[in-house]
Amino acid sequence: MSELLPPCTNACPVRTDVRGYIAAIARRDYVEACRLIRARNPFPSVCAWVCPHPCEEACRRAGVDMPLSIRELKRFAVENAAWSPAVPAPATGKKVAVVGAGPAGLTAAYELVLRGHRAVVYERHRSPGGHFFTSLPAYRLPREVLQRDLETILAAGVEVRTGVEVGRDVTVTRLRDEYDAVIIGVGLRASKRLDVPGGGLPGVYPALEFLEMANLGERPRVSGRVAVVGGGDVAMDAARTALRLGASEVLVICLEEREQMPAHRWEVDEALAEGVTLLPGRGPAGIMEQGGRVVGLKVQKVKSVFDPDGRFNPVYEPGSFESVPCDTVITAIGQAPDFRFLNGSGLKAGEGGRLVLDGEFFVAGVRGLFCLRRDSRRARPGHCRSSLRPQGGGVGGPLFKGRKRAAA
Ligand code: SF4
């Protein structure tokens, strides 16, 4: 199938009709451009700001001079076209509960509503949006941009119950009894913990918790020198947020050399332009403390990050330890599932910390329970690397299918 798509559309995780909407913009038919964009994506405004635009890397115009600015054109269209809410299909009488009002959960709910089903989304935070709301700093994604997309989703008829934590205020089992189906769309909402001496000291923040506190106005205590461990986009967000919260200096320490860093090139460039210092090729070996307080990070030089087969398997140079004085450590070394939503349901995560699925989406052993899984190791908020769309109208069937990772 992918060979039949234009390269830009094939590279887009939601398979946007890029040629169609750019042609519509060229005709000044912005409403049609928006219709084509929204046909694949209920978060067009968010993507117009923060999508890493793999479509542009695939753009064939690059063979002539330079790729088209596909994301900027999307932004122009969504900001300049009048838009009326989508009209849902006639009501089917079926109702579905969705756990988590993040991008996947809201996309699922939106598509269900358009097909005439009732969709009720349960969200533990006070606002919907998931990682867009809790993890992405407002300087990257202004909240009015997110609000625009949320309003469209809510106007279509999606119901969101905020401040309700599944696993604490209501169980998955109870939802399963009350609804025709339950969809789990909680994403990877926990930070992986740094397993080194001192990793649990006060002053050591997992990046997602740090960003969530900053975005929800709780202002994590940041002063002096901050060391951010990790080389991905979340590390860049944490570093730039720490600067904004008053850090005198921010160092990013990562295993990879700069060219190998998993963060997008422009995210690293922007962090450096703001004054962040990069210490590449080093891994954390321990956190130094004095009187119960963080005073530094012990790091070790990295010989290689990947083995000859390309697997992540860092090897360190023996005895090559250095001390990096700092007052705060933020760890951005990856994300993990958080299964608290299963509390009280009798369900448990299986081997490897994953829900056991029967096929692509059915949770094994529970009729009517579906899981929207992340199908990309690099997926993170704003990247749209695993968006979902229903494949049929029946609630009892396999409603959703994960989009395959973009072939960049
Ligand atoms: S969603 Fe992202 S990848 Fe898809 S067309 Fe828009 S900018 Fe490109």
Give domain limits for the chain. Answer: 2-80, 95-189+337-402, 190-335
Q: What is the CATH number of domain 2-80?
A: 1.10.1060.10
Residue 215 has pLDDT above 60, yes or no: yes
Of 284, 276, 316, nearest to 204 (Cα)?
284
Residue 388 has pLDDT above 50, yes or no: no
pLDDT value of residue 386: 28
In CATH terms, the superfamily for domain 190-335 is FAD/NAD(P)-binding domain (3.50.50.60)
Structure confidence by residue, pLDDT tens digits, 337-375: 888 998 998 877 766 666 766 666 666 666 778 777 553
Ligand 1 nearest atom to the CA of residue 406, by list position: 3
- Ligand 1 lined by 16 (C-beta under 6 Å): yes
Give the pLDDT mean for 219-237: 94
Query: For a substitution probing ligand 1, which of 384, 388, 389, 403 has the most ligand atoms within 8 Å of its CB?
Result: 384
In whole angstroms, give the CA distance from residue 137 to residue 118: 32
Domains 2-80 and 95-189+337-402 share a fold: no
Residue the block writes with tokens 């994953």: 354
Type of residue at 60: R
In whole angstroms, give the CA distance from residue 304 to residue 302: 6
Tell me the pLDDT of the chain averaged across its residues.
Answer: 86
Three-class SS state of 400: strand
Per DSSP (E only), the strands in 56-213 are 95-99, 118-123, 159-162, 181-184, 190-191, 204-206
Residue 65 has pLDDT above 90, yes or no: yes
Structure confidence by residue, pLDDT tens digits, 69-124: 999 999 999 999 887 778 899 999 999 999 999 999 999 999 999 999 999 999 99
In whole angstroms, give the CA distance from residue 155 to residue 112: 14
Residue 407 has pLDDT above 70, yes or no: no
Residue 315 has pLDDT above 50, yes or no: yes
Ligand 1 nearest atom to the CA of residue 18, by list position: 5
- Ligand 1 lined by 54 (C-beta under 6 Å): yes
Q: What is the CATH number of domain 95-189+337-402?
A: 3.50.50.60
Nearest CA to ligand 1 atom 2: 53
What the block records as the tokens of 107 is 């996309």
Type of residue at 295: V
pLDDT value of residue 203: 92
Q: Looking at the predicted complex, does its ipTM rise above 0.90?
A: no
- Ligand 1 lined by 55 (C-beta under 6 Å): yes
